[in-house]
Structure 1
Amino acid sequence: MTITAPEQQSNAATYALPFDCDNHYYEKIDAFTRHLDREYRHRGIEVIKRGTHTELLAGGRLFEFVPNPTFDPIIVPGCLDLLFRGQIPDGVDPRSLTKVQPLNPAFQDRDLRVEVLEAQGLSGALLLPTIGCGVEEALKDDIGALMASVQAFNRWLEDDWGYAYKGRIFATAMLSLADPDEAVKEVDRLIGQGVRIVSVRPAPVPAPYGRSSSLGNPMYDKVWAKLAEAGIPVAFHLSDSGYNRFAAAWGAPDRFVPFRNPNVLASLVVSDRAIHDTIASLIIDGVFTRHPALRVASIENGSDWVHLLIKRLRKQANQTPWAFTEDPADTIRRHVWVAPYYEEDVRKLADTIGADRVLFGSDWPHGEGLVNPIDFRDELDGFTESETDQVMRTNVLDLLGIDH
């Protein structure tokens, strides 16, 4: 699927600049309520006031995935760089690195954001949710409210951002597979709206009666088939995947509440397990075999899990060869794109899956991202000029079906 609109074609020269696959907006407070069916008003996301403080409820329960849903003030972009590089100077309290600022209007306005992209030297950016990354987990026990909330969110997204705004901003629609029939209807609607990529939570799919199911369950094939046929890739972005329930077995909290007394043991137990298990489920349960045109991207999940997953899958393939149609490493190289954390060994990732499957993502404007997105290029030591261009620009354009 290739962009053909005249205004997008006129920007062809712009695409010689880097294209960031991991940018974020900060949702407006009515993102999940503006278009929500009134039937789900008290079952989906609700906005409430407690004195001067604005909070969110999800299914009537306090929704703490983002403790400050007005985002004002908000963390300074990139202020936690040293923390995530593990390079905090001796004697410096890691908590002192967190800085806040008033909400920048460009975090919520697409025209201002285009100006920011130009100032940053970016041709464009893939924009992903912030609050939205916690909604499926919060509403997993009410599938009707979950599906209605996701659909309402996508309509807000179309109002405020659009799926290919000025050929520069490509917002990622949310998709839940919890009700496969509703998911197919939403994909059909999104295709009509010009969506370029959808975001699916890297986690088991919520199912009735408090159960869940593998993403590879054939009941979801109708969704994967629709996406594959339309050439729409799937982004698996770091989210609340519900994995704190495993940390709870070790005495840690069973809910993920960021920025408030982080549990160190939970951080280690959960780590990158969700994306590791997500890609494993797609391979072992045969999704890529049944849907050979399906493409997926792991965004903001790091890349260290890739090497461990390949090692484990190859061992499993040796023990149960009937469960695999090919070397699982080849399956990953064909179907999976990965945006590594900037502090990781990007060269090792490229040597493992191919430089044509590595994506540049800055996580801007989040505090754990880069201050200046294109500084990611500094992490590509040892890459050829052609490989650098792939990582910084053409790989994501190919993924989105944009001519370059």
Structure 2
Amino acid sequence: MTTLDYRAIDVDNHYYEPLDSFTRHLPKEFKRRGVQMVQDGKRTWALMGEQVNHFIPNPTFDPIIEPGCLDLLFRGVIPEGVDPASLMKVDRLANHPEYQNRAARIEIMDAQNLETVFMLPTFACGVEEALKHDIEATMVSVHAFNLWLDEDWGFDRPDGRILAAPIISLADPDKAVEEVEFVLGRGARMVLVRPAPVPGVLKPRSLGDPLHDPVWARLAEAGVPVGFHLSDSGYGAVVALWGGNPKFEGFGKKDPLDQVLTDDRAIHDTFASLIVHQVFTRHPKLKAVSIENGSYFVYRLIKRLKKAANSAPYHFKEDPVEQLRNHVWIAPYYEDDVSLLADTIGVDKILFGSDWPHGEGLEDPMTFVNDIPQFPEFSPEDVRKVMRDNALELLGANITATA
């Protein structure tokens, strides 16, 4: 394993949800309106709002893909003649208690030289889109999930090793504030909001709609950042415009046009909505972080923000590009150009995220450091910022603490 003389902080770790993550605490009256797990012979199906959902084709996660087995695919360096499908390797879930058990995960973190991880969802990233037609069921389901999450993983326990990020849906603005207060009361250090238009009863809303200001204000006051992680953001609607499948499906053969049309579009539009609709201007202490969305959207967004500011200078009270640089942290894909990102937003806003234990992530999280250009491009102090200190700054923690 790659070693450093300090322990790192990985902002992109994942659990694999058990079958009852959404149902354990779901009120009985919402059983058919929320998430259901239905057994059909040997197959288990996830029903969301009574419709079969394929965001995660096998919600049992058994068998489960091996960490990092798709590395060559995502680096674009598959040897000639090798079928990309042959890279897929799986194992039995029973062989990996660390995927669903906190104590077992900490043992793995010790071996990986990780001090702290941000623990993020897998299955849950597809639920809000599937339930967006039923806002009441969405809010109840999210609350039930957060109860499970704190119970099994802990938003923040005294050891500080695992920071599980609860989900906040903005679909019902009043309930969203209640949920923020609930998770903050239980010690949440970061929350996740889906990078997508906010579902509404009459029409969708921008994330920058003033209806959501009470949420942003409370998070800013608490010093708790909002994270935007790759999810089903409903951009299948764009694919459908071009004759494709509007449903997000996690695996299997797809029309390559789908990815070309939608790749990193949701996170680009998410930060565009926050900046153009002046969320950071109204809430100057709010922090935001992009996780598992790559970093190339940043350059396109900056170009478009500059053009918007030039075209409508009367609209912006603050430079929109500076808002991005001041308020937003980015966890790039390991295959991204980290030097270019540092030149664009500054090394202080770059975070280390491995996506472990997903197949498209890194087999060994600490090998991320091998993709950071070394001195003179990145000094040892810069590398430490990316691998550890920037995450502490994001959390508002003391970065002089002993590693």
Specify the TM-score bucket, using the shorter chain as the normaliser: over 0.9
SS at match of 1:390: helix
Aligned-pair distance for 1:230? 1.1
AA aligned opposite 1:26: Y
1:138-287 correspondence to structure 2 within 5 Å: 138-165=130-157, 166-209=159-202, 211-287=203-279
Contact in 1 for aligned 2:281/2:318 (Cα 8 Å): no
For structure 1, the 5+ residue unaligned runs are 1-13
SS at match of 1:323: coil
Structure-1 separation of matches of 2:195 and 2:280: 16
Give the structure 1 partner of residue 396 of structure 2: 401
Q: 1:317 aligns with which of 285, 304, 309?
A: 309
AA aligned opposite 2:348: D
Q: 1:98 aligns with which of 52, 66, 88?
A: 88
CA spacing shift, 1:40–1:124, aligned 2, 3 Å: same
AA aligned opposite 2:316: F
Aligned-pair distance for 1:39? 1.7
Matched, 1:387 2:382: yes
Aligned-pair distance for 1:148? 0.3
Q: 2:38 aligns with which of 44, 48, 72?
A: 48
1:71-90 correspondence to structure 2 within 5 Å: 71-90=61-80
Deviation readout 1:33-66 (Å, 9 max, x if unpaired): 0001112110000111000111110000002111
Contact in 2 for aligned 1:15/1:123 (Cα 8 Å): no
Structure-2 separation of matches of 1:239 and 1:303: 16
Structure-2 separation of matches of 1:133 and 1:52: 25
Give the structure 2 partner of residue 370 of structure 1: 362
Considering only aligned residues, what root-mean-square deviation do their CA atoms show, in Å?
1.2
Aligned-pair distance for 1:402? 2.8
1:3-22 correspondence to structure 2 within 5 Å: 16-22=6-12
Contact in 2 for aligned 1:15/1:393 (Cα 8 Å): no
Q: 1:65 aligns with which of 39, 52, 55?
A: 55
AA aligned opposite 1:249: L
Structure-2 separation of matches of 1:326 and 1:188: 29
TM-score by length of 2: 0.95
Aligned-pair distance for 1:15? 10
Structure-2 separation of matches of 1:401 and 1:47: 39
Give the structure 1 partner of residue 298 of structure 2: 306
CA spacing shift, 1:15–1:40, aligned 2, 3 Å: farther
Structure-2 separation of matches of 1:95 and 1:335: 39
SS at match of 1:48: strand
Matched, 1:294 2:251: no
CA spacing shift, 1:290–1:342, aligned 2, 3 Å: same
Structure-2 separation of matches of 1:161 and 1:287: 31
Alignment size in residue pairs: 390
For structure 2, the 5+ residue unaligned runs are none
Structure-1 separation of matches of 2:370 and 2:6: 18
Identical columns (%): 56
Contact in 1 for aligned 2:68/2:361 (Cα 8 Å): yes
Give the structure 1 partner of residue 24 of structure 2: 34
SS at match of 1:123: strand
SS at match of 1:306: helix
TM-score by length of 1: 0.95
Structure-2 separation of matches of 1:131 and 1:212: 23
| 219-228 or 152-161, larger mean C-alpha shift | 219-228
Structure-2 separation of matches of 1:353 and 1:65: 33
Contact in 2 for aligned 1:78/1:369 (Cα 8 Å): yes
AA aligned opposite 1:35: H
Contact in 1 for aligned 2:63/2:92 (Cα 8 Å): yes
AA aligned opposite 1:187: V
Structure-2 separation of matches of 1:154 and 1:112: 21
